[in-house]
Amino acid sequence: MLETTIAAIRPADEGAMAAARELHGRLTKPAGSLGLLEELSVRLAGLAGACPPPLPEPAAVAIFAGDHGVHAQGVSPWPQEVTGQMIGNFLAGGAVVNAFARQAGASVTVVDVGVATPLPTGPVADPAAASDPAAASDPAGLDPAAPESALPDPTRPDPAGRDATVLDPAVPRLVVASVRRGTRDLTVTAALTRDEALAAVQTGIRIADELIDAGAGILLTGDMGIGNTTPAAALIAAFTGADPLDATGRGTGIDDPTYAHKVAVVRAALVRHAPDPTDPLGVLAAVGGLEHAALAGLILGAAARRTPVLLDGVIAVSAALAAAAFAPAAVGAMVAGHRSAEPGATVALRHLGLDPLIDLGLRLGEGTGALLALPVVTGAVRVLHEVATFDSAGVAEK
């Protein structure tokens, strides 16, 4: 599946981009007066291979959730149980992402790709889990210490593919697609095996296909996982060559001693594993998280379907680095929603050559920054659809 997806990713359509630039020159506004919005609309035309490109609607947020063995190193003040508890909050509609999604008319799909603790019951995509609440908390009967042979076959059909998605903004939806119950501690051993990392990437691809098949015109990245900014920093440093001090932030809020320890943890993991940035699957396995790998798959899946994907914060852009390492042309499908307050996000965006649409000092995750940026993306495309030309409006040009 991964090879097929990568093979389907193509560079931007230069003809469509040229047509979009030419059209901008004829619209009733001074040339260049919409600044970065004009270039964004040109990029989206190149992605779609059409001018004007389709309106990016409806929007679908995919929140991938997982836990991290490195949490045992004290890199976060929050207990790991919060990951599963927040999934319950997402499904109940009480999180910030839900409020912003309702405002934007976006659907919310929550994907358990590796949560360590039992989940609350809720609307699930896996029919087995729907009939057996225990399956929702441990869909494959996995244990974090289980031998690799006990883990699910990464090539097996995923529960996410068994039901058609309904993109209903009013009803958050849970997909049970757990690869394992949290990663291993990356300071001790590789966080994942290559097969586990591959399974998570392919889950992301399947979710992208499912949401696009259900009619989504744009995908938005979301994430949930206590401690996940530590593997994100490791991924950013591995793919960009940045010093861990420049790639590591304070996450959900840590004091100076904990921050210094977190930087040391990231540095030690990179020394231990020496991840090769030309081997993205190996990097994800060594120092990544299940949600990072799944987000990389979501981005690749969107790029293969020539559908824009609106990136959220530091977790998303760390995953985007992996997606770009798999397929450089995948960057053409990426839109940077915002500049996270996490310093690694700026390092990653610079490496990807992406300019964020908004900068509000956000560091929540969940998909919140991407949702706030969504109207900007829609506006950029709507200009090409709806603004009159000088000729059609009878307006004199200079």
**Which range among 61-70, 157-166, 358-367 shows the weakest confidence by mean pLDDT?**
157-166
Q: Write out the residue range of the structural domain in which residue 225 sits.
A: 59-378
- CA distance linking residue 265 with residue 71, whole number of Å: 11
**Which range among 179-183, 312-316, 364-368, 390-394 shows the weakest confidence by mean pLDDT?**
390-394
Same domain, 30 and 79: no
C-beta neighbour count of 216 within 10 angstroms: 26
The domain total for the chain is: 2
**Residues in a beta bridge with 112:** 65, 176
pLDDT of residue 156: 35
pLDDT of residue 127: 31
Which amino acid, 149? S
Same domain, 106 and 22: no
pLDDT digits (tens, 9 = 90+) for 8-20: 999 999 999 999 9
Across 307-328, average pLDDT: 98
The domain that holds 360 is classified in CATH as: 3.40.50.10210
**Is there a contact between 273 and 279 (Cβ–Cβ < 8 Å)?**
no
Which amino acid, 295? L
Give the sign of the dihedral formed by CA 361, CA 364, CA 369, CA 370. Answer: positive
In terms of DSSP bridges, do strands 173-176 and 59-66 run parallel, antiparallel, or are they unpaired? unpaired
Same domain, 170 and 26: no
Residue 129 lies in a domain: yes
User: How is residue 351 written in tokens?
Assistant: 């490496």
pLDDT digits (tens, 9 = 90+) for 85-118: 999 999 999 999 999 999 999 999 999 999 999 8
Catalytic residue among 22, 366, 386, 397: 366
User: Predicted confidence band at 124 (pLDDT cuts at 50, 70, 90)?
Assistant: very low
Reference 295, options 91, 303, 227; nearest CA is: 303
Residue 23 Ramachandran class (φ > 0 left, ψ -120 to 50 alpha, else beta) = alpha
Across 138-156, average pLDDT: 35
Reference 289, options 111, 33, 78; nearest CA is: 111
335 secondary structure, DSSP code? E
Residue 294 lies in a domain: yes
pLDDT over 90 at 296, yes or no: yes
pLDDT over 60 at 302, yes or no: yes
In this prediction the pTM is 0.89
Reference 76, options 289, 346, 337; nearest CA is: 289
Same domain, 113 and 135: yes
pLDDT of residue 149: 32
- CA distance linking residue 384 with residue 24, whole number of Å: 7
pLDDT of residue 121: 60
What percent of the chain is modeled with pLDDT above 90? 83
144 against 357, higher pLDDT: 357
389 secondary structure, DSSP code? B
- Give the angle 352-276-4 at the CA atoms, nearest 5°: 70
- CA distance linking residue 345 with residue 337, whole number of Å: 11
pLDDT over 70 at 160, yes or no: no
Which amino acid, 250? R
pLDDT of residue 138: 37
**Is there a contact between 301 and 5 (Cβ–Cβ < 8 Å)?**
yes
pLDDT of residue 151: 36
- CA distance linking residue 87 with residue 100, whole number of Å: 16
State the angle between helix axes of 14-26 and 368-386 in degrees (0 to 180), rounded to the nearest 10: 70
Same domain, 290 and 307: yes
The domain that holds 33 is classified in CATH as: 1.10.1610.10
Residue 398 lies in a domain: no
231-267 per-residue burial string, b: 16 or more CB within 10 A, e: under 16: bbbbbbbbbbebebebbbbbbeebeeebbeebbbbbb
Same domain, 45 and 77: no
pLDDT over 80 at 147, yes or no: no
Same domain, 44 and 128: no
User: Predicted confidence band at 252 (pLDDT cuts at 50, 70, 90)?
Assistant: confident
pLDDT over 70 at 376, yes or no: yes
Across 196-215, average pLDDT: 97
- CA distance linking residue 119 with residue 135, whole number of Å: 10
- CA distance linking residue 78 with residue 91, whole number of Å: 21
Residue 137 lies in a domain: yes
166 against 301, higher pLDDT: 301
149 against 64, higher pLDDT: 64
**Is there a contact between 326 and 319 (Cβ–Cβ < 8 Å)?**
no
pLDDT over 60 at 205, yes or no: yes
Q: Based on the residue annotation, tell me whether 291 is a catalytic residue of this protein.
A: no
User: Predicted confidence band at 393 (pLDDT cuts at 50, 70, 90)?
Assistant: confident
Question: For the chain, how far is it from start to end, CA to CA, in angstroms?
Answer: 53
User: How is residue 42 written in tokens?
Assistant: 């040109």
pLDDT of residue 396: 84
Across 174-189, average pLDDT: 96
Q: What mean pLDDT value characterizes the chain?
A: 89
Going through the chain in order, the beta strands assigned E by DSSP cover: 59-66, 107-114, 173-176, 218-224, 309-311, 334-336
Across 296-320, average pLDDT: 98
Same domain, 42 and 133: no
pLDDT over 90 at 170, yes or no: no
pLDDT digits (tens, 9 = 90+) for 23-74: 999 999 998 999 999 999 999 999 999 999 999 999 999 999 999 999 999 9
Residue 300 lies in a domain: yes
Q: What's the Rg (C-alpha) of the chain?
A: 21
User: Predicted confidence band at 165 (pLDDT cuts at 50, 70, 90)?
Assistant: low
